[in-house]
A and B are shown apart, each in its own frame.
Chain A
Amino acid sequence: MNLRLRIGLAFLVFGLFIFGMFTVEEISLPFISEKQTPVAGLLLDQVFTKADFRYGPQSWRPYYDPLAIDPGQNASAGDTWYMMYIDLNGTPASGNPNVRRLGALKVSYHFSALAGRAAFHVYGSRPDSSQTRTNRQTGWNSCGYVVEGPDKPGQYMPATTGLAPSAPHEYQVTIANIRGEDSNDFSAATRILRFDRAGSGLDGLHITRDPAVLKGEVTETAALQGSFFITATGENPNSDLLLLVAVNRVQPDGFALSVRSEFVEGP
């Protein structure tokens, strides 16, 4: 058999293979459960209090090398923060041709009696490994969301402790969504944040005011009520998405944070 014929046959095999992949996809789609695809709708609607700030005071948030918390221009050096982690019960699916149903996670917040600054960041774990991604807050494509509150600081923060690595470059955090029998029992639900190397997973998730602007921006606002979107770029959606809420002051007793998350298709 001459070379040209072999080349022609090879391209025929490639064509058949690709056609076969499209066929398998089309045949299989009707059998895929709707539950396995991101569906538009409300995923979380919960009110959190200052008792849900489980960690702090500290000046950093988890990454391979710890990151500063305040992404804003008005960050003051030496600030220490109290942190809570909220499972948003969903994941954005953006920028990946592997996933047809593209969409973002819309997060609506409403603070009552907020003292100082509250910074939002996001963490997500890849489904095929426990490697964690987060938003980049400084430099190129930086994004984040900061709310400045008018209230005076309170006297104490209950149940806070410094977050320490559970293994090198790995953190076990308790989420605030599920509480134990009493306010000090947070053992009900934990998540692992694991970072394999410097630079990895940074800039995989974004916080944006407009889901059409995938990579987002740093927003500083005094609006105690508002919303933003969480988007993802690259690879598959996350198996788990955590919202980090950090405040740099002891909160007054009346502090409350209402968080709603919902999957919105588009942009």
Chain B
Amino acid sequence: MALKKYYFSLYEIALMSLCAALVVALKTIFTIPLHMPGSSGIFWVVPVIIGAGIVKKAGSGCYIGLVSGILASLFGLDALHVLDVFKFFALGLMVDVTGLLFFNRFDHPVIGFIAGAAGNLGKMVVNYAVQTLLGIPATFIIIGMGIASVTHFIFGGIGGIIAALILSRLLKAGVITPDET
């Protein structure tokens, strides 16, 4: 009897779930005292890009984003609670889109930068959308939107470069292989 073949293997699911847990763990452990919007993107895009970079399948970013969003909601890490799922999912979705456009070359620092910046900006847009739906005064959302998008771009990009450097190091050291899964 032929075994049913699933899109993600058990190994991939385990790896992506660990990356999702790492997003939540990093967010709990690290506090960046810069008080600038999007500054946390410098570390929380890293596991998403590394996970997507190892699995190299469309939907891996979404999976990591979704699981980390559910975990973050359960632990109440952010202000929007259950609505945080959308924020984390948007991050994963943007990493997936970048992977499709750039052939999953997440070990390349420039592509890592693009993936991280896109993910962090996607998170910001969803954050604003959710806040608008919740009725937060427009002042708090619109004022500074330009600056916030620049800081999200920069911090997400730096996080993406870090992820790309880690991935390329892991590949060079032979810890993972280009056809790992």
**Does A234 interact with chain B (Cβ within 8 Å)?**
yes
Q: Is the CB of A21 within 8 A of B145?
A: yes
Complex A-B, nearest 9 residue pairs according to Cβ-Cβ distance, in ascending order: A22-B146, A98-B144, A36-B139, A21-B149, A129-B79, A234-B35, A25-B145, A28-B142, A10-B114
Report Cα–Cα, A127/B79, bound state, in Å.
Answer: 10
Contact mask for chain A residues 1-38; partner B; CB cutoff 8 A; 1 contact, 0 none:
00100110011001001100110111011001000110
Q: Is the CB of B148 within 8 A of A3?
A: no
Q: Pick from B111, B145, B153 the residue with the most CB of A within 10 Å.
A: B145
**Does B29 interact with chain A (Cβ within 8 Å)?**
no
Q: Is the CB of B136 within 8 A of A128?
A: yes
Chain A contacts for B146, CB-based, 8 A: 18, 21-22, 25-26
**Does A134 interact with chain B (Cβ within 8 Å)?**
no
Chain B contacts for A196, CB-based, 8 A: 76
**Does B137 interact with chain A (Cβ within 8 Å)?**
yes
Q: Which of A17, A95, A98 contacts B37 (CB 8 A)?
A: A98
Report Cα–Cα, A6/B35, bound state, in Å.
Answer: 33
Q: Is the CB of A28 within 8 A of B137?
A: no
| Chain A residues with a Cβ under 8 A of chain B | 3, 6-7, 10-11, 14, 17-18, 21-22, 24-26, 28-29, 32, 36-37, 95-100, 126-129, 131, 196-197, 233-237
**Does B10 interact with chain A (Cβ within 8 Å)?**
no
Q: Is the CB of A236 within 8 A of B143?
A: no
**Does B60 interact with chain A (Cβ within 8 Å)?**
no
Enumerate 11 A-B pairs (CB-CB under 8 Å) in ascending A order.
Answer: A3-B102, A18-B149, A26-B146, A32-B138, A32-B142, A97-B147, A126-B79, A127-B137, A128-B80, A129-B81, A237-B140
- A150: min CB distance to chain B, Å: 41
Instruction: Count residues of chain B with CB under 8 A from any CB of chain A.
Output: 36
Task: Assess A95 versus B35: contact at CB under 8 Å? Given A7-B114, A17-B121, A36-B137.
Answer: yes
Contact mask for chain B residues 41-63; partner A; CB cutoff 8 A; 1 contact, 0 none:
00000000000000000000000
Q: Is the CB of B117 within 8 A of A14?
A: yes
Q: Is the CB of A236 within 8 A of B151?
A: no
Q: Is the CB of B143 within 8 A of A25?
A: yes
Report Cα–Cα, A237/B144, bound state, in Å.
Answer: 14
Q: Which of B111, B117, B140, B143 contacts A29 (CB 8 A)?
A: B143
Contact mask for chain B residues 68-109; partner A; CB cutoff 8 A; 1 contact, 0 none:
000000001001110000000000000000100111010000
Report Cα–Cα, A129/B139, bound state, in Å.
Answer: 17
Q: Is the CB of A128 within 8 A of B36?
A: no
Report Cα–Cα, A234/B102, bound state, in Å.
Answer: 36
Q: Is the CB of A233 within 8 A of B35?
A: yes
Report Cα–Cα, A11/B140, bound state, in Å.
Answer: 28
Report Cα–Cα, A37/B142, bound state, in Å.
Answer: 12
**Does B110 interact with chain A (Cβ within 8 Å)?**
yes
- A25: min CB distance to chain B, Å: 5
Q: Which of B36, B79, B103, B153 contacts A18 (CB 8 A)?
A: B153
Chain A contacts for B105, CB-based, 8 A: 3
